[in-house]
Amino acid sequence: MPVEHPCLTCGACCAFFRVSFHWSEADPALGGVVPFELTEPLRTHERVMRGTSQAQPRCIALDADIGRYSRCTIHDRRPSVCALVPASWEFGAASAQCDKARIAHGLQALTPDDWIGVDEAEKNPLPEA
């Protein structure tokens, strides 16, 4: 029986890090797919997901009870930086970002055992460099 992807019961990274990215990712005229209305300006060439540029960040696109269930409401349109944060051990190595966010929310860091039974098709592919 397949095991659920650990990110679907986490959400810690989306409620820990600032999510900033090049403004063009939210400009449909340039092929950007991130919903502009869910972003705000950060610096000259950057936008940030609303809710993540504050003392206690929480992305506006996050639908979660951290540690119980989690989903990104714009997963297929999320900023590229979100796809660059792998879950620990998803691809055979620890992820300092994942571990830091989980620990900050009182969750244990993931281990290789957390991936036993997760269908390979459910793993998030790493973006091409």
Tally of residues, the chain: 129
How would you write the pLDDT of the chain (129 residues) with one tens digit per residue? 567 889 999 999 999 999 999 999 999 999 999 999 999 999 999 999 999 999 999 999 999 999 999 999 999 999 999 989 899 999 899 999 999 999 999 999 999 999 888 876 566 655 544
Q: How far apart are CA 100 and CA 75, in angstroms?
A: 22
Is the distance from CB of 101 to CB of 9 less than 8 angstroms? no
